A and B are shown apart, each in its own frame.
Chain A
Amino acid sequence: DGGITQSPKYLFRKEGQNVTLSCEQNLNHDAMYWYRQDPGQGLRLIYYSQIVNDFQKGDIAEGYSVSREKKESFPLTVTSAQKNPTAFYLCASSIGSHRTEKLFFGSGTQLSVL
């Protein structure tokens, strides 16, 4: 089945530690996105990538980093500089352009601080 796979489902971070969230898609989509979701709030964009080896900061990129070495993979690293990392992280990809662009989501990773 085609889709977006996020791992792990739950992740715990110790103070001062960097952690990496995995996102893999087999939909052959060019664009990929990382969002953060806090309780009772809408999704906020962290980073996005339109093509391999290129990515742009979203609205809340501070304390996060990404890479896009392969079309299928878009890992997100939460660095120690992110002081409030506890949240639900969602990876997405999209197909189409402008009026037809449609988002597809993975099942999410819940990150908590120990």
Chain B
Amino acid sequence: KQEVTQIPAALSVPEGENLVLNCSFTDSAIYNLQWFRQDPGKGLTSLLLIQSSQREQTSGRLNASLDKSSGRSTLYIAASQPGDSATYLCAVRYNFNKFYFGSGTKLNVKP
């Protein structure tokens, strides 16, 4: 059974700090991995998508990496801001039209 794990469940950091969020998956036969942001009571907003053949993707202050062999992806946020406070989820796509989601990391960036 495919499982996706995100640790820690919650993280609190001071403004300006660089941070790393983790996503691990049990089955390395993935097609892609997508990182999302979710604000309270809202839907998910896509941040980055990494295809299985790629090692990393960057968008502004965000950088996502993928290591299929170890079953891990990381989301690096540079120079964190209070506006980055949200829950961050990762989703893994396998070859049968299904996405498996982690339970998320709730990030709080303190001013």
Q: Which residues of A contact B (CB under 8 A)?
A: 4, 6, 31, 33, 35, 40-45, 48, 50, 58, 88, 90, 92, 98-108, 110
- The number of inter-chain residue pairs (CB within 8 angstroms) is 66
Q: Does B101 contact A (CB under 8 A)?
A: yes
Q: Tell me the nearest residue of chain B to A88, going by C-beta.
A: B41
Known: A42-B4, A108-B41, A108-B43. A99 touches B52 (CB 8 A): yes
CA distance A90 to B42 in the complex (A): 9
CA distance A5 to B89 in the complex (A): 21
CA distance A31 to B34 in the complex (A): 17
Q: Tell me the nearest residue of chain A to B99, going by C-beta.
A: A103
B88-111 CB mask vs A (1 if < 8 Å, else 0) is 010101010111111110000000
Q: Are A98 and B31 in contact (CB under 8 A)?
A: yes
Q: Which residues of B contact A (CB under 8 A)?
A: 4, 9, 31-32, 34, 36, 41-46, 49, 51-53, 89, 91, 93, 95, 97-104
Q: How far is the CB of A47 from chain B (nearest CB, A)?
A: 12
CA distance A105 to B100 in the complex (A): 15
Q: Are B43 and A42 in contact (CB under 8 A)?
A: no
CA distance A33 to B103 in the complex (A): 18
Q: Are B43 and A102 in contact (CB under 8 A)?
A: no
